[in-house]
Amino acid sequence: MNNTDFLSAVTVRIDEIVSYNKTTIFTIATTTMQEGNAYLTPIRNNDQFVIAGCIIFGHKDILSILGIIDGVVDVILIDSEKKIPIRVYNNNDRSHKNKTVGDIETGNISKICFQHINKSKVFEFKPNDLTVNAAWLFLSQRLHFISGKKISILGAGNIGSKLALKLVECGADVHLYRRDDYKGFNISHGLNLIKPVNTVSTIQFHQSAIQAAFMSDVVIGATSGYQILSEDIINSVKKDCLIVDLGKNNLSANAVNLARRNFMEIYRVDVTPALESYVHEMLKMQAILANSYGRKELGFCNIVGGGYFGDKGDIVVDKINKPEQIIGISDGSGNIKKSLSSADNATIINFKKEFGID
């Protein structure tokens, strides 16, 4: 799909999600594997909102995309992770300007978007972390419990290493493989230092992918476009092993055929639950910052809410705009007073009268 066709497809997709008459969200993400041509992601229709989006591989399309979606969708989510390689390119429509002689691709699209989006609300998000959360949730529910399972992760990059830490914290016996032995060893060593001291299970690094995968309950391909899950890997795992393609094109054709002949389950993790959960969290945090968070002087007392660190004697409430509930009285050190003075009780009585709280 060329640039003109892609932008036309974006326009059509935006018209489609607007027709749902719900809160509309459009995501703009990047990926480490440089495929060249931007593409759209599937529509995800929730009871409260509808999500569409795209994957891009450089800055050149970003301003055109923003021109189509800004002010048309309610919320724009921008990938805040640096994945695009630094490079020099020629582009008459300079979408990225800095103090260099030419146009430099840095991969940091979020700053550009915040500078050019004027009408829609814009927030950052981390797609890789959503992938990790979705994978963990899938394995937790599919396996029923993770503790004691041997889980092999072939590809210890951003996603694979983060997932390894989540799994080992749950008691999984995690085995890592990375083609760069030096980095792989240091990653596994660092993760073992980070995990809770009372976690008995460990993360082991292997210089051989087959050694890492041998007799695994779950084998996960977490490379970027490299077919790490070969026929030899499938031959080495347990007969009922779950096979997860967490990266992209991590399975060879022979591996897929062998797994199917042996009735083994192959999955690609659906990130929809993690993405929709993040949107709920994002909207809730926005509401907290807008209505609950901060400190307000009322004359006879001060109130704090939304997690704001109050001074001693401040009334902690559910929200500083039109409060409906008193949480307690701040002790000035981040906690609620366990015993109240007569002055504290008098302040609470006055506050309840002021806001009509029973």
Q: What is the per-residue pLDDT across 193-228, written as a single tens digit (0 to 9) for each?
A: 999 999 999 999 999 999 999 999 999 999 988 899
Backbone angles phi, psi at 140, to 5 degrees: -60, -45
Question: Does residue 325 share a domain with residue 351?
Answer: yes
Question: Does residue 141 share a domain with residue 121?
Answer: no
Strands (E), 194-265: 203-206, 218-221, 242-245
Domain membership of residue 212 (yes or no) is yes
Return d(Cα 187, Cα 200) in angstroms, integer. Answer: 18
Return d(Cα 228, Cα 243) in angstroms, integer. Answer: 12
Question: Does residue 232 share a domain with residue 150?
Answer: yes
Question: Does residue 86 share a domain with residue 134?
Answer: no
Domain membership of residue 284 (yes or no) is no
Hey, what are 46's tokens? 């929730």
- More confidently predicted of 31 and 32: 31
Mean pLDDT of 174-195: 96
Q: Domain limits at 37?
A: 3-125
Please say which residue of 76, 107, 125 terminates a domain: 125
Domain membership of residue 281 (yes or no) is no
Question: Does residue 265 share a domain with residue 156?
Answer: yes
Domain membership of residue 88 (yes or no) is yes
Mean pLDDT of 144-163: 96
Mean pLDDT of 264-286: 95
Residue 93, pLDDT score? 43
Mean pLDDT of 22-37: 83
Query: In the block, which residue shows the tokens 């039109």?
Result: 322
Question: Does residue 250 share a domain with residue 139?
Answer: yes
Question: Does residue 139 share a domain with residue 101?
Answer: no
Hey, what are 58's tokens? 């450089």
**pLDDT bracket for residue 35 (50, 70, 90):** low
**251 closest CA partner among 239, 271, 267, 270:** 267
Angstrom distances, CA of residue 139 to CA of 227, 239, 252, 273, 332: 22, 17, 22, 13, 43
Return d(Cα 342, Cα 330) in angstroms, integer. Answer: 15
Domain membership of residue 279 (yes or no) is no
Please tell me the pTM assigned to this model.
0.87
The count of structural domains within the chain is 3
CATH number of the domain that residue 168 is part of: 3.40.50.720
Question: Does residue 297 share a domain with residue 246?
Answer: no
Element (H, E) at 167: helix 158-169
Helix and strand numbers (H, E) in the chain are 11, 17
Backbone angles phi, psi at 75, to 5 degrees: -135, 135
Question: Does residue 241 share a domain with residue 169?
Answer: yes
Question: Does residue 145 share a domain with residue 103?
Answer: no
Domain membership of residue 350 (yes or no) is yes
Domain membership of residue 283 (yes or no) is no
Please say which residue of 238, 272, 306 terminates a domain: 272
Question: Does residue 178 share a domain with residue 311?
Answer: no
Length of the chain: 358
Domain membership of residue 280 (yes or no) is no
Convert the pLDDT of each residue in 55-103 to its tens digit. Answer: 988 777 788 999 999 999 999 999 988 766 655 655 544 444 556 666 6
Question: Does residue 138 share a domain with residue 238?
Answer: yes
Residue 237, pLDDT score? 97
| R_g over Cα of the chain | 25
Please say which residue of 68, 101, 125 terminates a domain: 125
